[in-house]
Amino acid sequence: EIVLTQSPATLSLSPGERATLSCRASQSVSSYLAWYQQKPGQAPRLLIYDAFIRATGIPARFSGSVSGTDFTLTISSLEPEDFALYYCQQRNSWPLTFGGGTKVEIK
């Protein structure tokens, strides 16, 4: 089973700042990784898939990148609605797995 390790667990930032979230895979997942956003009491929302492709309707301030087994989600300038939990998920092999999440909170 591929383990996805997200860091940091919590990111404390102010609106307008840049957020950088990390997801490291325990073995290669090629570029087959997605990012989701989840707000309290809501279902997750797909943001990015295949490492860097924005899902439909996702603002351009969200971007993804990859270097080997290290994946990064960047939010270029935090909006108030971006403070939430973020999860990564790999589809390279069974079982599909999620990371443990990063909480982006208001500083």
Q: Which residues bind other proteins (CB under 8 A)?
A: 1, 34, 36, 38, 42-46, 49-50, 55-56, 87, 89, 91, 94-101
How far is the C-alpha of 65 from the C-alpha of 44, rounded, in Å?
20
3-state secondary structure 12-76: EECCCCCEEEEEEECCCCCCCEEEEEECCCCCCEEEEECCCEECCCCCCCEEEEEECCEEEEEEC
Shortest CB 44 distance to other proteins, Å = 6
Name the residue nearer to other proteins (CB basis): 65 or 77: 65
Shortest CB 97 distance to other proteins, Å = 7
Name the residue nearer to other proteins (CB basis): 43 or 60: 43
Name the residue nearer to other proteins (CB basis): 13 or 46: 46
Name the residue nearer to other proteins (CB basis): 15 or 100: 100
* Those residues with Cβ within 8 angstroms of residue 27's Cβ, 6 or more apart along the chain or in another chain: 2, 69
